[in-house]
Chain A
Amino acid sequence: MSGGLYAVSESSLQFFGAMTASISHEINNVLAIINENAGLLEDFTLMADKGVPIDPERLKTLAGKIMTQIRRADKIIKKMNKFAHSVDGPIKRVNLGDLIELVVALSNRFASMRGITLEVKHPPNPVIITTNVFFLENLLWLCLDLAMDVTGPDKKVTLSVETAGIGGVIRFSGLEDAHGRMSNIAGNDGLLGALKGKLDIDLETRDISVTLPSDINN
Chain B
Amino acid sequence: MKTRVLIVDDEEEFVQALSERLTMRDYDVTTSLRGEDAVEKVRDYNFDVVVLDVSMPGMNGVETLREVKKLKPLTEVIMLTGHATVDSAIDGMKLGALDYLIKPCETEELITKINKAHDRKAEHEERIRDAKVKDIISSPRAALK
A112 to B10, CA, bound (A): 11
Q: Of A30-38, A79-87, A184-192, A199-207, which binds chain B? A: A30-38
Q: Report whether B82 and A36 are in contact in the complex, using a CB–CB cutoff of 8 Å.
A: no
Q: Chain A binding site: helix, strand, loop or mixed by DSSP?
A: helix
A111 to B2, CA, bound (A): 39
Q: Of A20-28, A121-129, A167-175, which binds chain B? A: A20-28
A179 to B58, CA, bound (A): 25
- Asked if B11 lies at the interface with its beta carbon under 8 angstroms from chain A, I say yes
- Asked if A89 lies at the interface with its beta carbon under 8 angstroms from chain B, I say no
**Which B residues lie within 8 Å of A115 (CB)?**
57-58
CB-nearest residue of chain B relative to A28?
B82
State which of A22, A25, A29, A40 has its C-beta within 8 Å of the C-beta of B17: A40
- Asked if B84 lies at the interface with its beta carbon under 8 angstroms from chain A, I say yes
**Which A residues lie within 8 Å of B144 (CB)?**
none
Q: Of residues B13, B24, B56, which shows the largest number of chain A Cβ atoms within 10 Å of its Cβ?
A: B13
**Which B residues lie within 8 Å of A112 (CB)?**
57
**Which B residues lie within 8 Å of A37 (CB)?**
13, 17
B105 → chain A, closest Cβ, in Å? 8
**Which A residues lie within 8 Å of B56 (CB)?**
113
**Which B residues lie within 8 Å of A177 (CB)?**
none
- Asked if B31 lies at the interface with its beta carbon under 8 angstroms from chain A, I say no
**Which B residues lie within 8 Å of A90 (CB)?**
none
A55 → chain B, closest Cβ, in Å? 13
- Asked if A69 lies at the interface with its beta carbon under 8 angstroms from chain B, I say yes
- Asked if B18 lies at the interface with its beta carbon under 8 angstroms from chain A, I say yes
- Asked if A93 lies at the interface with its beta carbon under 8 angstroms from chain B, I say no
- Asked if A181 lies at the interface with its beta carbon under 8 angstroms from chain B, I say no
**Which A residues lie within 8 Å of B45 (CB)?**
none
**Which A residues lie within 8 Å of B11 (CB)?**
29, 32-33
Residues 35-89 of B contacting A (Cβ, < 8 Å): 55-58, 60, 82-85
CB-nearest residue of chain B relative to A116?
B57
A53 to B38, CA, bound (A): 35
- Asked if B103 lies at the interface with its beta carbon under 8 angstroms from chain A, I say yes
Q: Report whether B24 and A43 are in contact in the complex, using a CB–CB cutoff of 8 Å.
A: yes
User: B residues near A, CB below 8 A?
Assistant: 11, 13-14, 17-18, 20-21, 24, 55-58, 60, 82-85, 103-105, 107
Show 27 A/B contacts (Cβ-Cβ < 8 Å), sorted by A. Answer: A25-B82, A25-B84, A28-B103, A29-B82, A29-B103, A31-B103, A32-B11, A33-B11, A35-B104, A36-B18, A36-B104, A37-B13, A39-B17, A39-B107, A40-B17, A40-B21, A43-B21, A43-B24, A47-B24, A65-B13, A65-B17, A68-B13, A69-B13, A113-B55, A113-B56, A113-B57, A115-B58
3 closest residue pairs by CB, A with B: A36-B17, A35-B104, A28-B82
